[in-house]
Structure 1
Amino acid sequence: MKQPVLHWLGGIALLALSLNTWAADKPIHQGMVDNYKAEKVSDHVYVIHGPAGLPDKENQGFINNPGFIVSDSEVAVVDPGSSDAIGRAILAHIRKVTDKPVTKVFITHAHGDHWLGNNAMKESNAGAKFYASAGMIEEAKNGAGDSWIETMNTMTENATAGTQLVIPTEVVTQDQEVKVGNLTVKAHLVEGKAHTSNEVMFEVVEDKVLFTGDTISNKRLILMDEGSFPGSAKNAERIVAMGMKTIVPGHGATGDNSIVTAYGDYMSKVYEGVKTLRDDMEAHEMKPKIAEQLTAYKDWHSMEETLGKHISLAVLEAEQEDF
């Protein structure tokens, strides 16, 4: 017994040495390593819950909920964040749990705070596969990837500088199942628009866990410039009907279907409020009236500054619905 134990301890020491050398050679988001933890939300799934707010110098672009799935033989990552440095921090958290290789990465949508950490996953395993919808991959190839690199650099005052673009190559289709060791990840493509177009939600089948990406946010309002309010509400209804045990939103704490219902209710109330009021008042006049219908959400992060923007966008969507 003594020799195998010494061999195992030696392996751990070599792993620690390699991580230290790697971290010294390449930037890593050390604050994310030191001040956040990978929370176990089911038997096989861990989530690093990001802070509220937009990317800035202080958070170095870390605002989303990167997750990882540990099977019997390999690890899959979902939405590895905004930069190489954040991706390396996620890997450091993974190595606290397991030394199994990261072989697959699943991307929910094209917004850079969710997938620009891909290169760190490729650094850890050159053979790793990256999965996304066909539309997301097309967007990234047609300039969205480069644009998001620049946007993150600007918003974080170059805290994300040096990030290398790794665009997914594996196209997922509706209800496609991908094996991760002894586990199964199932793709649920969003029909139409919710937060954006070309979104995918990923289910860890054995654990009944659903990564929603930004189709759901928990107690936090997010940008809807590319989204649909009724589309978001419809997608929330779809999620509830799936009967998932655990919901991992794109932002905010992991929870159950109650967070899905709340988010869908907010989207519905904004849109229906706009449709009711738009014949009698301008968009900027609607906010107090609609806010009265949203008292349950008054403490959500960024409510004060975001509700007015959502109302304006909902007005535009309602007008387009007329044609």
Structure 2
Amino acid sequence: MKYDALLVQSFGGPEGPDDVIPFLENVLRGKNVPRERLLEVAEHYQHFGGVSPINQQNRDLIAALRVELAAHGIDLPIYWGNRNWAPYLVDAMTQMKNDGVESALVFVTSVFSSYSGCRQYREDLTKAQVEVGDQAPRCDKIRTYYNHPGFIETMSSCVRESLDQIPSERRQRAELIFTAHSIPLGMSDNCNYVKQLQESCRLVSEATQHANWRLVYQSRSGPPTQPWLEPDVCDVIRDLGASGATDVIVSPIGFVSDHMEVLFDLDTEAKEAAAEVGLNFIRSGTAGVRPRFIEMIRQLIEERLDPDMPKQALGPLGPSHDFCPVDCCLYTPQRPRPG
């Protein structure tokens, strides 16, 4: 398949105080989330001047990708479209159409497969194509990369940097907590989200030779009556403090950059929870624009441009599929609470 552009597709975020409520209304449209939760999250953004760091992080990612692609002779113009805030996906696709782009690869800034992390992005692409109309470019999403060597090596480097901050005599006993965004069980039932997360955590643990780890969740937003993935990171941190642990490393493996769920839910709330119970808290880094991560994106592009190129993947699960099945990552919100 020939491709003549790369589209970076992301979540979007407010870039000023007046953007916060309209942005969150975009995010939560059609979802059963209490208004009180929306206003609570709005306050999180206001702590940072109403500006989410995600848009600037995407600008930095695109700048690094342009350099990486050019250095390897890959001539693909890069476009950028968001789901929930400017620059919107439909505007990016309109520009692609006007520029004569016929077929684009799509890099989504979401690592793991779920409705909100994969299928919804593909649905957004289809909606934008319909809105743009005739001659809207074909858009093929790049496969997920939770077990790609580039992702695992990047996250392993982040964890090693955190381990090095702990005195050697306490290092092996340090609690390594991997976090990811909690999702409703009705969503996780129909995707490989948890399976992929567990495999990524296992691979990073193996690479860092740190066996003392667990996977937890953060940032749930649904009503209390709806079951979501647990345990919550702050609850686990408090339990660790009560059990006599001394050091906790929190690695936000479910996020590719330091956006709001990392800055507030971890660097503020989780850090405060650790302080309450006397735990030494270290928040490990995200992939961001680390060179190995940028190299990985280029490798994923190359394998789609050249079908004879071997696909890289660590562990027994192998590389993910290039094209999602029709029933991939469905969501059934009506799943009842167990018991």
TM-score, normalised via structure 1 length: 0.29
TM-score, normalised via structure 2 length: 0.28
